[in-house]
Amino acid sequence: MSRAPATAAPAAPSPPARRGRTTGAFLVVAAALLVLIAGANLPTPLYAVYRERFGFSATVLTLVFTTYAFVLVGALVVCGQLSDRLGRRRVIVAGLAVAAVGLGVFAAAQGTAWLFAGRALQGVAAGTVSGAAVAALVELDPRDDGARAALVATLAQAGGTATGPLVAGALAEWAPAPRTLCYLIWLAITGVIALAVLGIREPARPSGRWRLQRPSVPPAIRRPFARASVTAAAAWAVAALFVSVVPSYAAKLLGSDNLALLGAIAATMLFTSCAGQALTLRAGISSGVAQPAGLGLLIAGLLALVAAFPAHSLALMLAAAVLTGTGHGVAFLGAQSHVNRLAPAERRGEVTAAFLATIYFGVAISVIGVGFLSDATSLYTAVATFSAAIGTVSLLAITAHTRARTGARAARPRG
């Protein structure tokens, strides 16, 4: 087909996704995602305090924790395509408003029911914001670099998951009002970030009316999408173990109830994840290599975690945090980068929502299993069983990635 003369029609306006590409807007969305995830993880070092004050079992503790994941999956199902239809900015601000209400509920908590309500609100907020924020980062990146957007998204999620326990643990140990202050401070920060998001230009072109529809994945990308989703789910299941059960595991191993220390162990795993992600991108490691490599490190870290308890070894516990953290970062960055490349632009929010729903469903099932097992047997048996299960899934995923890479190399034309 011949090209029309340049004077035949006025130049089409640049789509908002292009006009809105500024470093400031990109950083505001990244900060919004980090603040949201950090707020959702503030309760991590305080669960032992709640358990003692409100008197509930390990099973109830894990149900409180996984309420977030189950509600988040439901919110992703309902809101998966919402930002594709209504715009990223509106959806992110609405989710931050719900997150602020959840923080208020935790600050005022007077019983176990309050914890369930707070976690449910945090799940709604995360399910509403996460897909929209990740899609917005891809659209706002001034360099138009999918790998960089994936790095920032995964750093925000892992960094937020680490920051929450670290901040809450330090404030609970050394500041007044241990069950209230961290939530009030984060409530104010969330409000400031919401106002900042309102000030950026809409990065997407809303397309059509919203209707209730579960997130789906185009048939052409379902197989690689499944491999990336299983990889990310395994990585985040281990991260969830560190922010839910490992603080209690470490308290028994170390004979300590120092909330700052217990929060720091969970934070170490996730800050190491951030370092692993940054090094992976700097080294230019492809997603096809990063995913199986990260899963291998994850398996090594789980072995160290299981060995730490009978050995009463802080060194092994720290080794487990570093190995699993690095594995988490490398594997998840590879998976997120792969999904960013696979997703069609017009369905990016929906495909991202499906990816996150898969992750959190796996997280919820695994953490609930640990809670039931720890009540029925012992905490050590539960952690060992979890480690064996996730290790097996990781080995199967490594095999699938290896076969896919081998098949891709064989399909390339020679000469």
Give the whole-angstrom CA distance, residue 43 versus residue 165. Answer: 7
In this predicted structure, the answer to whether residue 13 has a pLDDT above a threshold of 70 is no
| Residue 202 DSSP symbol | P
**Global pTM value:** 0.75
**What pLDDT band is residue 11 in, cutting at 50, 70 and 90?**
very low
Cα 76–chain centre separation: 13
Q: Hey, what are 294's tokens? A: 């990260």
b (16+ CB within 10 A) / e for 262-294: bbbbbbbbbbbbbebbeebbeeebebbbbbbbb
Residue 33: closest CA among 129, 101, 121, 119: 129
**What pLDDT band is residue 314 in, cutting at 50, 70 and 90?**
confident
Residue 42: closest CA among 112, 129, 106, 86: 106
338: CB partners within 8 A, 6+ apart: 224, 228, 287, 288, 291
pLDDT digits (tens, 9 = 90+) for 316-361: 988 999 999 999 999 999 998 899 888 887 777 778 878 888 888 8
For residue 330, the model assigns a pLDDT of 95
| Residue 12 DSSP symbol | P
**What pLDDT band is residue 146 in, cutting at 50, 70 and 90?**
low
* 8 Å CB contact between 119 and 166: no
**174-177-179-185 Cα dihedral, nearest 10 degrees:** -90
pLDDT digits (tens, 9 = 90+) for 165-224: 889 988 988 888 888 999 999 999 999 999 999 999 888 776 656 566 566 788 889 999
In this predicted structure, the answer to whether residue 401 has a pLDDT above a threshold of 80 is yes
DSSP state string for 232-277 = HHHHHHHHHHHHHTHHHHHHHHHT---HHHHHHHHHHHHHHHHHHH
* 8 Å CB contact between 105 and 118: yes
